[in-house]
Amino acid sequence: MTLVVDGLEKRFGPVTALAGLSLEVPEAHVFGFLGSNGAGKTTTMRIALGVLRADGGSIRWRGEDHRKLPRQTWGYLPEERGLYPKMTVLDQLVFFAGLQGVPGDVAADEARAWLARFRVPDFADRRAEELSKGNQQKVQFLAAVMHDPDVLLMDEPFTGLDPVNIVLLREAILELRDRGKTVVLSTHQMETVEAMCESVAIVDHGRTVVAGTLREVKRSTGRRMVLLSVVGDHRLEWLSNVPGARLLRPGIERAEIEVDPEVEPDAVLAAALAAGARVTHYEVADPSLEQVFIEHVGHPADFDADGTTAHSGVSRFEIGGVESTSDTEAVA
């Protein structure tokens, strides 16, 4: 069984947000949904949730049209902050779960268990406005999973988290996958995608430009990487003798060299040895997902199509089925 997006179209006046976007997400997978700001990722998620209506195409889960599915099928973690600042954490988690039919006592027990797992059991009686942005993000994650949905749509879930909390959230997401949940993960953190996702899709201007298993996507450009460690030679000037090879990242311990598809990686090793270099490590690898993304899209993931960086502001969105306005700043 799969989540299938087929030829999805959406326009906002003269702006085309989705131009026939298609992808397929295997069940019980963590799926990386990648694209620059404005590529159509959030629009796709909101259509799945029923917040927006598509102009064309379809979304199906286990063969059923998404419009016929109960709202409890989906768990949604929006990129923006969507908590009620004056409510305590426990009260609003119980409230959001209640919107999905979870009894109050069951929701309260579940919320306390999750808060303990995230090492913040004392947050239950604190107001959301008293929490840092990272801790608000953890609470929003709980709001998305409290009703035990089949599909989790997560839009930049690691925003504002420190390394320790990133690990905690990763472990929670992978555990949900192991319990049979399907997770669609939109993020600009390519290292996280490589660490967690079995399959990915890269979208641009409302279309899918490449999709498949992580390995298939990483090999889609045909380029390869040589990881090379050379004692006492960090400039690698001899590399100019290898046409089609470029030094991407010099490093004291290891250099990253990209080679064109027609170039044998062994030519880099041969040139190093011919120059008298003392090679201590040689490895042929696939390019990073970030390099593949830039190859297909032409700019880093956290840039808009016009080359500007992402920015935040007040916006309206829906969490737990309730529209909310987010302009909350962290105070603790």
Are 128 and 136 within 8 A, CB to CB?
A: yes
**Rounded to an integer, what distance in angstroms lies between the CA atom of residue 177 and that of residue 32?**
13
Nearest CA to 155 out of 179, 172, 180, 137 is that of 137
pLDDT digits (tens, 9 = 90+) for 289-331: 998 999 888 765 554 544 444 433 323 333 333 333 333 223 2
pLDDT digits (tens, 9 = 90+) for 200-223: 999 999 999 999 999 999 989 888
Are 211 and 201 within 8 A, CB to CB?
A: yes
pLDDT beyond 90 at 9: yes
**Rounded to an integer, what distance in angstroms lies between the CA atom of residue 72 and that of residue 52?**
17
pLDDT band at 81 (very low <50, low <70, confident <90, very high): confident
The least confident of 73-77, 98-102, 285-289 is 285-289
- The pTM for the full model equals 0.81
Q: What string of DSSP letters covers 28-89?
A: T-EEEEEE-BTSSHHHHHHHHHTSS--SEEEEEETTEEGGGS-GGGEEEE-SS----TTSBH
* pLDDT at site 170: 94
Nearest CA to 154 out of 43, 81, 83, 77 is that of 77
- Arithmetic mean of pLDDT over the chain: 88
**Rounded to an integer, what distance in angstroms lies between the CA atom of residue 174 and that of residue 197?**
9
3-state secondary structure of 323: strand
Residue with tokens 């999905």: 100
Overall average pLDDT of the 152-171 stretch: 92
Q: What string of DSSP letters covers 163-230?
A: HHHHHHHHHHHHHHHHTT-EEEEE-S-HHHHHHH-SEEEEEETTEEEEEEEHHHHHTTT--EEEEEEE
Set out the domains of the chain in order of their start, with CATH numbers: 2-218+316-326 (3.40.50.300), 224-286 (3.30.70.100)
What phi and psi, each to the nearest 5 degrees, are found at residue 41?
Answer: -70, -50
The 10 Å Cβ neighbour count of residue 273 is 13
**Rounded to an integer, what distance in angstroms lies between the CA atom of residue 243 and that of residue 272?**
14
Q: What string of DSSP letters covers 220-287?
A: TT--EEEEEEETT-SS-GGGGGSTTEEEEE--SS-EEEEE-TTS-THHHHHHHHHTT--EEEEEEEPP
pLDDT band at 65 (very low <50, low <70, confident <90, very high): very high
> For residue 330, what is the DSSP state?
P
Q: List CB contacts of 66: < 8 A, sequence separation 6 or more.
A: 47, 48, 50, 58, 59, 60
